[in-house]
Structure 1
Amino acid sequence: MHLKRIIAATTALVSLSLVTACEDADADRTPAVSGPTTGPGPSKDGGAHADTLQQAQVYVQRYASCERMSTDPTDGRLPLTEFTAPGKWSVTERGVCSDRVGHGEIVFYMFSDMKAFQEGYKQRVLTKIASGDPDYGLFSRVLVGENFAVTPTETATALKLSRSDLRVLTCNPTARVPEGYQQQKGPVDGCVLSDFVASEDGDGSPNLETPKDPATEGEAPQPDQPRAGSPGLPRAGSLTELKQLVHPHTVDCTGYSTDPATVAIESIDYQPVITGAPRDWGVKERAICGETGGAQRAHHLTWLDMVSDMELLQTRAKAAQQEDLKDDNRLKATASRLLVGQNIAVETNDVAVRNGLYQLQFLSLNCRPGFSAPAGYRVEKANVEGCVLTNYEPGAEVGGH
């Protein structure tokens, strides 16, 4: 089953790796780069190596279309949002070629210091995250070799290049490489090199993990804990750990409370999944994040749950969801969706928050009759009949990195 590393927080956030630059009407007049006299290839250390931009182009052409190379900084095929340029991150030269087969472009960066390049990219990712773009770099299309990097605009092209000695550089701290793919730490702490291409459009690397049914597999559970073994879902040992898992890049828990009266607050704009006593839903501890109101209107409410009985929680949530669906087969926009891990859950009606939780491997409970998801999304067995766990939300697909 394919793994979709889904969905960025908002369509307004754009990264270099997804920008599809317009073809310049005058591109034929840009200076072309001549072919190499010697062939590029893997170095003695196993990474892709090229002595010149021309050799880097030839290397890429073994795996993907790359025509009409240009080093003109005004070439209209270059991304509208600058990633980096000569003089930064030890970059010595930049070029761009047309990916005719993939209907996109590939931008090249020759650099003199691998660590300096990766450190520059890491700082860019962290700066974007700090500025309010927590998903920047999750769908990285930065593929690096020993002394050059490429950033294709198309997922299918990145997938082709991942089969070479180039490796996908990922520095977002919430990113995860699934089992079955090669990965290694980069020369910069916090960065990973892998052959896994994450993509929200479903065309990236397939999910090679074999899902486990938590109801039938794994070791016997400890008291008040679900059975071990699950389809890669996250877990936490306490509300504090759960808060640390989701805050601050996915859920804003600046306003946080475990006070039962505060947790029980509902808003006209934010309706939780759980109503009444949490223990009647199989939840042993519960917290709320966000601005709960008072003199001001409530904002950004999200509920965090430590679950002692996942089957009971999903059974109650299924009944609530079907009650909401029965009139027009649609869920109210203000109604929260239940996203679950192994022994934890989050309730939120914020699409952007849910997108971030999917990156952390949470899956949402969907009990809509006849539900199906396109190829590339996850659909796993739920704890109750008639429901699935998924990261696909019809109509909620948005652009990303």
Structure 2
Amino acid sequence: MRIKRILATTAALTCLAALPACKGDGQAAPPGAPASSAAPAGAAAEGALAEAQRYMRQFTGCEDLGTKPDDPRMPRGDFPKIGQWSVTEVGVCRDGGGQGDIAIAVPKDMKAFQAGYKQYVMDRISGGDGAYGLFSNVLVGKGFVAFPTSSKTAMALLRSDMRVLVCNPGGRVPEGYKREKPLVEGCGLTDFFAAEDGSGSPNFETPQDPAGGGEKLGQPKTGSLGLARAGSIAELRKLVGNSLDCEKHFSTDPEAVAIESIDYQPAVKGNALDWGITDRALCGQPAGAQRAVNLSWLDTVGDMKKLQTRAKAAQQADLKDDGKLKATVSMLLVGENIAVETNSPSARFGLYQLQFLYLNCVPGFSAPSGYRLEKAQVEGCVLTNYEPEHPVR
């Protein structure tokens, strides 16, 4: 996966209400009643599922429509069941050209569906899966929702009026793609499809060498693709709220901020002012009756060069022991005028989506094509979203 393909939080589309399911005689079928157990490719079956099939077949394959719950192609887990999120019908068809399947859900109330999906994403994030929903395969159509298993199928469907529903606040839409208003706040609808394996929509913001000098993708010779910014600790807390344990466990008290444990050590040691930091806060639960949990530190920075210089010296001192950085010491991720210290790989993954980059001062470090690699403000260091110990594929 290429991290820079990640989605952004703003986007959305107005979706129409679900189409009614009808029997062959034109009478409305009861909620959840299947039109048939399977509809051949050329069958003229009635109902919302058949309407969805006919629509999608204008853009990609959707053959062998089935509605039986025990159909082996029917997805498990994250796919909504009848009665969930106002869904009244479910089905699945095959896209031979895209070499995948398309699950279909027909909600009675599209707004209720989007609200239900958003809550599900938020629950997963609160449960520790901060990246859930960044690679959404939930495509909203007019009266139905499709869940394609193939990137090729998804991108074919996005040539229609269908849009990807993204409710993870860390999602990002690159320039050149649509951002349209959804039916619920906090989600977005877009024609950008991000895939973990990099097979999704191309990111047109990928920097290119105008002279054709063979510059690696994601590694501009000068400048930056952009970094996170906040005007205060309060703004920074809000910005990183879904990546770190800051909503319920947060303190700016100097004694609390100075806390560290054997499992969680800050990158910044001693007087924070000597590091160019103007304000500082602690997220997570300090040790009490039990060991500390999810400690991370937030910093507003008045002198970024001073911060990076001190951090470089600390990394080099750590490397002298065994050539490795201590796993319990937080890694320093920087923005334009802010920084976050955390030793949680999952938290850092979420922060990379928010345009933070890790200050890496390991000699000889390089990043593969597709990852960001930019100049730091101090010689001998780079800013990157690539971690050799935790590569994202």
Bin of the TM-score, shorter chain as denominator length: 0.7 to 0.9
Q: Distance in 2 between matches of 1:390 and 1:62?
A: 42
Aligned residues of 2:130 and 2:347 also touching (Cα < 8 A)? no
The amino acid that maps onto 2:182 is G
Q: 1:26 matched to which residue of 2?
A: none
Q: Distance in 2 between matches of 1:66 and 1:322?
A: 57
Aligned residues of 1:4 and 1:376 also touching (Cα < 8 A)? no
Q: Give the 3 Å change call, closer, same or farther, for CA 302–126 of structure 1 in structure 2.
A: closer
Asked if 1:362 corresponds to 2:363, the answer is no
Which 10-residue stretch deviates more, 306-315 or 291-300?
291-300
Residue 4 of structure 2 aligns to a residue in which SS? coil
Residue 342 of structure 1 aligns to a residue in which SS? coil
Q: Give the 3 Å change call, closer, same or farther, for CA 162–393 of structure 1 in structure 2.
A: farther
Aligned residues of 1:4 and 1:201 also touching (Cα < 8 A)? no
Number of equivalent positions: 347
> Post-superposition shift, 1:58?
4.7
Q: 1:33 matched to which residue of 2?
A: 39
Q: Distance in 2 between matches of 1:176 and 1:233?
A: 13
Asked if 1:250 corresponds to 2:249, the answer is no
Q: Give the 3 Å change call, closer, same or farther, for CA 292–52 of structure 1 in structure 2.
A: closer
Residue 355 of structure 1 aligns to a residue in which SS? helix
Aligned residues of 2:249 and 2:284 also touching (Cα < 8 A)? yes
Aligned residues of 2:130 and 2:346 also touching (Cα < 8 A)? no
Residue 270 of structure 1 aligns to a residue in which SS? coil
Q: 1:13 matched to which residue of 2?
A: none
> Post-superposition shift, 1:59?
4.1
The CA deviation string for residues 232-275 of structure 1, in whole angstroms up to 9 with x for no partner, is 3221111122122222x221133333333432333222221111
Q: 1:377 matched to which residue of 2?
A: 371
Q: What is the root-mean-square deviation in Å for CA atoms of aligned residues?
A: 3.1
Residue 3 of structure 1 aligns to a residue in which SS? helix
The CA deviation string for residues 206-232 of structure 1, in whole angstroms up to 9 with x for no partner, is 333377xxxxxxxxxxxxxxxxx9633
Asked if 1:336 corresponds to 2:342, the answer is no
Structure possessing the higher relative contact order (Cα contacts under 8 Å, 6 or more residues apart): 1
Aligned residues of 1:36 and 1:54 also touching (Cα < 8 A)? no
Residue 147 of structure 1 aligns to a residue in which SS? coil
The amino acid that maps onto 1:396 is H
> Post-superposition shift, 1:350?
1.1
Residue 243 of structure 1 aligns to a residue in which SS? helix
Structure 2 unaligned spans of 5+: 8-35, 208-222
Aligned residues of 1:202 and 1:375 also touching (Cα < 8 A)? no
Aligned residues of 1:4 and 1:377 also touching (Cα < 8 A)? no
Aligned residues of 2:280 and 2:298 also touching (Cα < 8 A)? yes
Q: Distance in 1 between matches of 2:85 and 2:289?
A: 49
The CA deviation string for residues 262-319 of structure 1, in whole angstroms up to 9 with x for no partner, is 3233322222111122222221111222233255433321111111111221222223
Q: Give the 3 Å change call, closer, same or farther, for CA 57–386 of structure 1 in structure 2.
A: farther
Q: Give the 3 Å change call, closer, same or farther, for CA 363–155 of structure 1 in structure 2.
A: farther
Q: Distance in 2 between matches of 1:161 and 1:396?
A: 33
> Post-superposition shift, 1:183?
0.7
The CA deviation string for residues 361-381 of structure 1, in whole angstroms up to 9 with x for no partner, is 222122334433344433333
Q: 1:196 matched to which residue of 2?
A: 192
The amino acid that maps onto 2:347 is V
Q: Give the 3 Å change call, closer, same or farther, for CA 200–382 of structure 1 in structure 2.
A: farther
Q: 2:111 matched to which residue of 1?
A: 115
Q: 1:300 matched to which residue of 2?
A: 294
Q: Give the 3 Å change call, closer, same or farther, for CA 239–2 of structure 1 in structure 2.
A: closer
Which 10-residue stretch deviates more, 159-168 or 124-133?
124-133
Q: Give the 3 Å change call, closer, same or farther, for CA 365–203 of structure 1 in structure 2.
A: farther
Q: Give the 3 Å change call, closer, same or farther, for CA 125–2 of structure 1 in structure 2.
A: closer
Residue 289 of structure 1 aligns to a residue in which SS? strand
Percent identical: 59
Aligned residues of 1:71 and 1:95 also touching (Cα < 8 A)? yes
Q: Distance in 1 between matches of 2:161 and 2:373?
A: 32
Q: Distance in 1 between matches of 2:173 and 2:380?
A: 30
Q: 1:272 matched to which residue of 2?
A: 266
> Post-superposition shift, 1:31?
4.5
Q: 1:311 matched to which residue of 2?
A: 305
Q: Distance in 1 between matches of 2:202 and 2:310?
A: 33
Residue 263 of structure 2 aligns to a residue in which SS? coil
Q: 2:33 matched to which residue of 1?
A: none
* Aligned pairs for 1:5-16 within 5 A: 5=6
Residue 115 of structure 1 aligns to a residue in which SS? helix
Q: Distance in 1 between matches of 2:234 and 2:185?
A: 25
Asked if 1:152 corresponds to 2:148, the answer is yes
The amino acid that maps onto 2:358 is S
Q: Give the 3 Å change call, closer, same or farther, for CA 318–97 of structure 1 in structure 2.
A: farther
Q: Give the 3 Å change call, closer, same or farther, for CA 196–375 of structure 1 in structure 2.
A: farther
Q: 1:11 matched to which residue of 2?
A: none
Q: Give the 3 Å change call, closer, same or farther, for CA 204–328 of structure 1 in structure 2.
A: farther
Q: 1:56 matched to which residue of 2?
A: 52
Residue 180 of structure 2 aligns to a residue in which SS? strand
Q: Give the 3 Å change call, closer, same or farther, for CA 368–159 of structure 1 in structure 2.
A: farther
Q: Give the 3 Å change call, closer, same or farther, for CA 62–318 of structure 1 in structure 2.
A: farther
Q: 2:19 matched to which residue of 1?
A: none
Aligned residues of 1:230 and 1:342 also touching (Cα < 8 A)? no
TM-score (norm 2): 0.77
Q: 1:205 matched to which residue of 2?
A: 201
Q: Give the 3 Å change call, closer, same or farther, for CA 67–382 of structure 1 in structure 2.
A: farther
Structure 1 unaligned spans of 5+: 7-29, 39-49, 212-228
Aligned residues of 2:124 and 2:130 also touching (Cα < 8 A)? yes
* Aligned pairs for 1:68-217 within 5 A: 68-100=64-96, 102-209=98-205
Aligned residues of 1:2 and 1:206 also touching (Cα < 8 A)? no
